[in-house]
Structure 1
Amino acid sequence: MFHLSRRTLLKSAAVAGAYGAGVAVLPRLSQALAAPSPAEIEAHVIEAVLDGKTSTRNVMSYGLAGAPSSDPSPPVLRMQRGKPFAARLTNRLDEPTTIHWHGLRIPNAQDGVPFVTQPYVYTGDTFDYAFTPPDAGTYWYHPHCNTLTQMGRGLTGMLVVEDDRDPVFDGEVALNLRDFRLGSDSQFIAQFKPRDAAKTGTFGTVRTANWQPEPVYDVPAGGLVRLRILASDVTRIYNLRLDGADAMIIAIDGHPVPVRVALDMAVVSPGQRLDLALRVPDSEGAMVSLEDIRPSTPKVVAQFRAVGASLKRNLGDLGPLSENAGVEADLANATPIPLLLSATAENAAKDSICGTLGYSFWAINKVPYPGDTADPTAPIAELKLGQSYILNVENVTPHAHPIHLHGMNFKAISSSKQAVQQQVSDTYLVLPDEKVQLALVADNPGDWVFHCHIIEHQKTGMTGYFRVT
């Protein structure tokens, strides 16, 4: 699920009932996107400066039609919990694509997986998505077609489901963390190396937050700011800490934490989200750094600069987030499902119009499946609607795998390596040689993909799906 340092787990934070007023740092688009007319989303190719030096060609991004912006990165989509949302995807790429709404419990036909839930969207074609988000929190959207290239070149955007019952912060900053693989000329280089795909994955060469190296954001001095952090990278696992201020962890993967804890260091793997309440320093001009300390030398991800007179807020002022649906599994009568994560003998992968890496390195229950071919394997298991299950996940490899489940949530109940929180989630980082039990209620009918979110692992076999009927 989500890993915190021992020190962080020991730092519990008090929760008070006082609410504060404030102004969000980012523009709030919820009213526009909640309107009956669909959000017009275009997937297109652009040029953008990603390394702070020179424009990079053949970048892929999303844009909102009729909403021109000087920011080339995908927009933060905002919608309201319990209110209908509609979007029309127009594909301006020169290859097929889709949109998957990562972490949202929505109808299966809206899930955006070619050959499983929908046809791919050809160049120049459109596809209409419509659903009502049942949970508030921080989520994201990305393609599920030729994912390594499309996501690697930029098609990863943040998605926020708002709830009017949430406490009001003095500001908000959304951070989309990801790498790009660029050469010295600022142009794209090969997205992966086979020898790395068979290990931890191929890392990018330029690290960014919202497509900028080490951006700086102005935030109100002495205020409480909500940091919404997304790890949308195709490979990198982040070890995040703050230097210069205090913060509390308030939500993980979109869902409020059972107990708020002070941030010491948190591990955020591809596909995961972390919500922090940042208490900005009182002194105007004071700087706060968000750092990634993995593997050893700290790297500044983003900075926050205190501006204005101090608001003199306290972390204890912050009221609780609105609750999402839990995972109330009947553990005494739950059906166990074995899930072995392993390497496999190298084979040529099946070709697909949605792209192939040409290799098969990984498997679930010894079956490698790239996840986007017209002749999928059988489901991992067939689940009965409303029944409880325990996913017995065993990682017998020397590498970590952030495992993501579409369309439903689970809750970790035990691990062979660490204490686990009773945290609702859709992504769990399975450590090397870890055995973990994930409780699940099969509450959403359809075929739901289950895969590693290190995309090279996904595209070379560590993919499958559950069928809920």
Structure 2
Amino acid sequence: MSFTRRQILAGLAGVAVVGLGAGGARYWLGRPADSAGHDYELIAAPMQVELVPGHATEVWAYGGQAPGLELRARQGDWLRVRFINHLPQPTTIHWHGIRLPLEMDGVPYLSQLPVLPGEYFDYRFRVEDAGTFWYHPHTSSAEQLGRGLVGPLIIEEREGSGFRHERTLNLKHWHLDREGAFSDFSVPREAARGGTPGVLSSLNGVHAPTLELPAGQVVRLRILNLDNTLTYRLNLPDAEVRIYALDGHPIQPRPLGKEYWLGPGMRIDVGLRVPEAGRELALRNGPLRLGTLRSVVAGEAPGDWPAALPANPVAEPDLARAQKLRFNFEWAGALSADTGEGAVPTFWQINGQAWDINDKTCVERPIATLHKNGHYIFELRNVSQYQHPIHLHGLVFKVLSSNRKRIEPYFTDTYLLGRNETAQVALVADNPGVWMFHCHVIDHMETGLMAAIEVV
């Protein structure tokens, strides 16, 4: 369901909040220049839901929803979110795929200190790119994302998209037992392989739902993979489907084909021509049904395929003068020497360096330093048998080529690097800061597969 901007969350707006006065300011590394107002008041809090029939599960919700409240803004506008933490843990919000100032990026001990229980933080940034994005914490990520702290962020095109109808489809698997209790979000033997999988699929928080779409119309489906670990092999058999955008950035429309591999953190916008009333289509992950799309009488003239979406204002890298850097994503093959309470095993590394999520000084040792407005080609080498959706904060890169498949170049913030694949991507380092660079299989990230890249 879409919500208008400036909406105060029904039923939650009256919850008491401890403000950040003089004493509370120690929890901030910076404040927005103007915090006089905000577009959304977004509360993170526990909530009871029924994911397994007949059993209650206490999820952690944004705005009384899990997945969270859909936030919307228009391209070029400022988005102002007052985030209020009513969880039992500190947390932050990272705005996945959004190019923004470092102080708004939501990385603890880098862009801000964690928002403590009972406190709030005002996020404020201009959204330059239209598309489908999302938001989530960057603290205790396996648990907090696993418990439901994920939500869509939709940036509408400045001049419109040409679609008369659209739906947002949030995909997420839950780590639950048969009675609805949470199981382990990360198991070491799984983190050392493909990642710890959830077992219960959901579409917009419901297992295998049926959604109604208007017959004869071309509907924009914004599909988001909000899963901790799972790569979806998306397919819509017997349907007319065209891809319009990948990870928020437009492409020249093309058929979906047999299936599309959507890794954790990735998004795809497709146009679906809805068949005649009464027909049903299955949205699938490989052979497994995620949900049913049912055609219903629309009462309006049939729609036509919209033109390509307008390109986002992303700087084009100059390949002729770009500096080349290589990044190897590989298995570390060792456990952390510290086996005490709270120790995290190390299974993964980038260029021989494993990130320690308990070491707050890791951000002070970037794996690469880029010059502002410099042009770069990254060679991404997966020296392992498992897939890694590689995500870069604060910047957008252009996928150029792969040794495993044919690439039609496109801009993105997350690339699914296949087993033993080498891919070339390029970017203009036009956003200064220290930006996280990591695999979005969450327990890969938390067991070493993360680094920092500095732009100065």
Fold match, TM over 0.5?
Answer: yes
The whole-number CA distance in structure 1 between the counterparts of 2:449 and 2:273 is 40
Distance 1:363 1:173 in 2: 38
Aligned length: 428
2:359 paired with 1:373: yes
Judge conservation of contact 2:132–2:155 (CA < 8 Å) in 1.
yes
Q: Which runs of 5+ in 1 are unaligned?
A: 1-25, 64-68
Match of 2:20 in 1: none
Amino acid at match of 1:454: V
Note the 1:93-242 alignment, pairs <5 A: 93-242=87-236
In the alignment, the residues of structure 1 paired with residue 339 and residue 87 of structure 2 have an alpha-carbon distance, to the nearest angstrom, of: 20
After superposition, give the CA deviation of every residue in 1:251-285 in whole Å (9 maximum; x if it has no partner): 10001113433443111000100001111011x22
Residue-by-residue CA offset, 1:179-229 (whole Å, 9 max, x unaligned): 111111111111122111100011111111111001111111111111000
Q: Does 1 or 2 have the higher relative contact order (CA < 8 Å, sep 6+)? A: 1
Label 1:351 to 1:216 Cα distance change in 2 as closer, same or farther (>3 A): farther
TM-score (norm 1): 0.87
In the alignment, structure 1 residue 285 sits paired with structure 2 residue 278: yes
In 2, Cα distance between equivalents of 1:262 and 1:62: 32
Q: Secondary structure at the match of 2:347?
A: strand
Structure 1 vs Structure 2 CA RMSD: 2.1
Judging changes above 3 Å, is the alpha-carbon distance between structure 1 residues 220 and 357 closer, same or farther for their aligned structure 2 residues?
farther
Deviates more, 1:241-250 or 1:360-369: 241-250
Relative to structure 1, the CA distance from residue 372 to residue 83 in structure 2 (aligned partners, 3 Å threshold; closer, same or farther) is farther
- 1:269-319 deviation line (CA, Å, top 9, x unaligned): 00100001111011x2211111110xxxx111121111115755355x312
For each residue in 1:367-386, what CA deviation from the matched residue of structure 2 results, as whole angstroms up to 9, or x when unmatched? 00045632115101111100
Residue in structure 2 matched with residue 299 of structure 1 by the alignment = 288
Structure 2 vs 1, CA of residues 307 and 349 (structure 1 numbering), >3 Å: closer, same or farther? farther
Change (3 A) 1:206 1:113: same
* Change in 2 beyond 3 A, CA 1:411/1:357: farther
Q: Which amino acid aligns with 2:46?
A: V
The one of 320, 324, 343 equivalent to 1:336 is 324
Equivalent position amino acid for 2:53 in 1: G
The answer to whether the 8 A contact 2:401-2:409 is kept is no
Is contact 1:96–1:145 with CA below 8 Å preserved after alignment?
Answer: yes
1:61 paired residue number: 61
Match of 2:383 among 373, 393, 396: 396
CA deviation vs aligned residue, 1:105-155 (integer Å, no higher than 9, x gap) = 011110000111111111111111100100000000000000000001100
Q: Which residue of 1 aligns with 2:38?
A: 37
The change in CA–CA distance for 1:351 and 1:427 in structure 2 (over 3 A counts) is: farther
User: Which residue of the other structure, out of 394, 417, 420, is the alignment partner of 1:430?
Assistant: 417
**When the two structures are superposed, what TM-score results if normalisation uses the length of structure 2?**
0.89
Indicate whether 1:360 and 2:353 are aligned: no
Cα 1:116–1:28 change in 2 (3 A) is same
- Are the equivalent residues in 2 in contact too, given 1:112–1:143 (CA < 8 A)? yes
- Percent identity over the alignment? 37
* CA spacing shift, 1:234–1:350, aligned 2, 3 Å: farther
Alignment pair present for 1:88 and 2:77? no
Distance 2:38 2:87 in 1: 24
Is 1:319 matched up with 2:310? no
- The amino acid that maps onto 1:291 is R
